[in-house]
Amino acid sequence: MKSLENKTALVTGGSRGIGRAIALAMAEEGANIAVVFAGNREAAEKTAAEIAEKGVQARIYQCDVASAGETEAVVKQILDDFGGVDILVNNAGIVRDTLLLRMKEEDFDAVLNTNLKGAYHMIRQLYSHMMRKKSGSIINISSVVGLMGNAAQANYAAAKAGLIGLTKSTAKELASRGVTCNAIAPGYIRSDMTDALPEKAKEAIVSQIPMKHTGLPQDVANLAVFLAGPAASYITGEVIRVDGGMAM
């Protein structure tokens, strides 16, 4: 039997990059997938089609995770469509990089609202559902930047560090109810987000990675599948790096 058979996973930002790899890997293990995306419907449809080819259910939902109202509506819809949610992956994220001195309040707020508050909204919307079921797995995609800080990413680092506090607090609140909550801290993973970096910046980052190469979305997806499955049922409140040794 596949490790996630008969489970439903809700993956925010599941249409592209790391979220897409997580959605596909969980589908490969038998999970039905609800893909939440922000605006790129074409990418979401393409990912959903690939998921469905694996013989599981796949549906896409447009929702801004930063919005309390939209997350409430979308979670209701997903619960109706799938009959429940077993796995929540808070992966949706954005960057608005610049030095703190130049960082506008709207750029600080946008990153905090999407990357941190988005996860808070989604967990809150599924909290009672998972508590009542006495099972569930929540996986928050943080970053090594949340552990180390990074110049020109004060907003992003604050959000990703905040996600670690959110993860541990959620884990403590829900542990006795059979719900786990863990964080993954990826290093430099190839995706649209990192492809946008200037060549010089990419080289500088790679030089700081002990393994001397970037990671792939699949590297993160492998861990997400493990954390969502029965083999990780006694792991909660943990933060695991997938970074080629970058932040050790």
Which two structure tokens, joined as six digits, stand for 151? 């110049």
Q: What are phi and psi of 242, to 5 degrees?
A: -130, 85
The residue within the footprint of ligand NAP, chosen from 31, 48, 60, 66 (CB under 6 A), is 66
For the chain, the distance separating the N- and C-terminal CA atoms, rounded to the nearest angstrom, is 36
Residue 59: CB minimum distance to ligand NAP, A:
15
Does 210 contact ligand NAP by CB under 6 A?
A: no
Residue 50: CB minimum distance to ligand NAP, A:
14
Residue 40: CB minimum distance to ligand NAP, A:
3
3-state secondary structure of 62: strand
Question: Looking only at residues 91 through 110 of this chain, which bind ligand NAP when binding is defined by CB under 6 A?
Answer: 91-94
Which two structure tokens, joined as six digits, stand for 140? 């928050």
Question: DSSP label at 100?
Answer: G
Nearest to 56 by CA among 100, 87, 99: 87
The reply to whether 156 belongs to the active site is yes
Q: Which is nearer to ligand NAP, 31 or 183 (CB)?
A: 183
Residue 24: CB minimum distance to ligand NAP, A:
13
Q: What are phi and psi of 229, to 5 degrees?
A: -95, 175
Does 208 contact ligand NAP by CB under 6 A?
A: no
Yes or no: say if 19 and 34 are a contact pair by the CB < 8 Å rule.
no
Residue tagged active-site, from 120, 127, 156, 188: 156
Q: Which residues pair with 179 in a beta bridge?
A: 136
The residue within the footprint of ligand NAP, chosen from 4, 9, 10, 18 (CB under 6 A), is 18
The residue within the footprint of ligand NAP, chosen from 3, 40, 135, 150 (CB under 6 A), is 40
Residue 119: CB minimum distance to ligand NAP, A:
9
Site string for ligand NAP, 111-130 (x = CB under 6 A): ---xx---------------
Question: Looking only at residues 139 through 168 of this chain, which bind ligand NAP when binding is defined by CB under 6 A?
Answer: 141, 143
Does 244 contact ligand NAP by CB under 6 A?
A: no
Q: Which residues contact 63 (CB under 8 A, 6 or more apart)?
A: 36, 37, 38, 70, 71, 73, 74
Yes or no: say if 11 and 35 are a contact pair by the CB < 8 Å rule.
yes
Nearest to 12 by CA among 70, 48, 61: 61
- Using CB under 6 A as the criterion, which residues of the chain lie in contact with ligand NAP when the complex forms? 12-13, 15-19, 36-40, 43, 63-66, 91-94, 114-115, 141, 143, 186, 188-189, 191-194
Instruction: Point out the residues that are catalytic.
Output: 156
